[in-house]
Structure 1
Amino acid sequence: MSNKLTFTLSTGDVVITLRPDLAPQHVARITELVKEGFYDGVKFHRVIDGFMAQGGCPLGTGTGGSDKPDLPQEFNSEPHVRGTCSMARTMDPNSANSQFFICFGDTEFLDGQYTVWGQVTEGMENVDALPKGEPPANPGMIVKAVIG
């Protein structure tokens, strides 16, 4: 299995190294959703400058997920720093499903509370270029997601 995920965003390509060593169930879920085309056309519905860009909601609102069951948390000691990819969730730690976020900067206050599953290794400038807002007036999106 390849440990590379490429998101072709409306702003350019982003390459993420997947970390099944940290979060095997979450990486398996993301891989499964990518192969099903789930993320293609999904918007970044919450983009906070200096904090993070959140996407993965099929409704584009932050209120939805895939039709698959929520995942049990796989919190790990990996720090939330620039380019960290981590799963979004509700107040329930075992509620991650399809939504994720990419950190713009060091956000260590999230450490140990969210499941880190990857790290941007190329194209972070294209994440930086996503339109900001909660939600953005004209949200950026994942045009295509590919494993490999």
Structure 2
Amino acid sequence: MRFIGFLAAFTAAMTAVPAVAQQKTIPSTHAEEAPDTTDKANLWLLDLSTGGRVTILLRPDVAPKMVERIKTLTRRHFYDGTIFHRVTDRPLPIAQGGDPTGTGTGDSDLPDVPAEFNYLPHARGAVAAARTEDENSANSQFYIMFRPALSLDKRYTVFGRVIKGMEYVDEIHRGEPPKDPSRILHAYIASDNPPPYQPGPATVNPALGDPGDITLPAKPAAAPASKPAQKPKK
């Protein structure tokens, strides 16, 4: 799985920094124009089982390869029916999904995406690519930040941020894995003229089987050697 291999370093970094300093926003000298939040070609829509639609502004200006991967998989309906398999508040405040197997060790059948580390912070609502210890192993998995964790900056590829519907992200069921996992009912790119949000069963992802029958291990002890123990996957 993607992320656990990084937990020790993350915890050490957080305890070494005073609490007040942890809450400060790192100043940026990077001059940029405000991203266009009305550009439907770069709005990723996730209809969640928690009750509504989440709108994520994609950032091809800083992570073009990962954004292209998200668009490709979304248009293949890859994410429809997939669960959030790793959802924690501490020490990592994340909701992680995008694995077609629901275990944290799976990927799409496409090649891995190289690292596109950039200046975007791991702020609340940031969306980033999960990976193994190999920096160039991002693929289909991603995570959304519940709270800031700036110690992750420039270690993982941030490729977007929630701009609407964060309340539905906050309601994603917790656990590693959750006993009753929340799922993506449908994923869309806004420019593809998707239908309005509709609660109910997702289109079944063939890799997952019937959404009502998915069975997950109690807690993965370790992933295969090629995919080190849990951490954000690319």
Q: Same fold (TM over 0.5)?
A: yes
Query: What residue number does 1:29 align with?
Result: 69
Structure 1 residue 130 displacement after superposition? 0.5
Deviations along 1:113-145, one digit per CA (max 9) or x if unpaired, are 000110000000100001000000000000000
Query: What residue number does 1:144 align with?
Result: 186
Deviations along 1:1-47, one digit per CA (max 9) or x if unpaired, are 70101100001210000100110000000000000000000000000
CA distance in structure 2 between the partners assigned to 1:82 and 1:120 by the alignment: 8
> Which residue of 69, 90, 103 corresponds with 2:132?
90
Query: What residue number does 2:49 align with?
Result: 10
CA distance in structure 2 between the partners assigned to 1:64 and 1:78 by the alignment: 26
Query: What residue number does 2:226 align with?
Result: none
The residue matched to 2:172 in structure 1 has which SS? coil
User: 2:61 is aligned with what amino acid?
Assistant: D
Query: What residue number does 2:161 align with?
Result: 119
The residue matched to 2:68 in structure 1 has which SS? helix
Which structure features the higher share of helix residues? 2
The reply on whether 1:71 has 2:113 as its aligned counterpart is yes
Structure 1 residue 49 displacement after superposition? 2.0
The residue matched to 1:126 in structure 2 has which SS? helix
User: Which stretches of structure 1, 4 residues or longer, exceed 4 Å deviation after superposition?
Assistant: none
Deviations along 1:86-134, one digit per CA (max 9) or x if unpaired, are 0000000000000000000011010000001100000001000010000
Unaligned runs of 5+ in 1: none
Query: What residue number does 2:177 align with?
Result: 135
The residue matched to 1:144 in structure 2 has which SS? strand
What is the total number of aligned residue pairs between the two structures?
A: 148
User: 2:89 is aligned with what amino acid?
Assistant: D
CA distance in structure 2 between the partners assigned to 1:141 and 1:49 by the alignment: 18
Which structure features the higher share of strand residues? 1
CA distance in structure 2 between the partners assigned to 1:139 and 1:110 by the alignment: 25
Larger radius of gyration: 2
CA distance in structure 2 between the partners assigned to 1:85 and 1:54 by the alignment: 10
CA distance in structure 1 between the partners assigned to 2:71 and 2:115 by the alignment: 17
The residue matched to 1:47 in structure 2 has which SS? strand
The residue matched to 2:148 in structure 1 has which SS? coil
Query: What residue number does 2:21 align with?
Result: none
Unaligned runs of 5+ in 2: 1-39, 191-234
The residue matched to 1:2 in structure 2 has which SS? helix
The residue matched to 1:65 in structure 2 has which SS? coil
Q: How does 1:50-69 map to 2 (within 5 A)?
A: 51-69=93-111
CA RMSD of aligned residues (A): 0.8
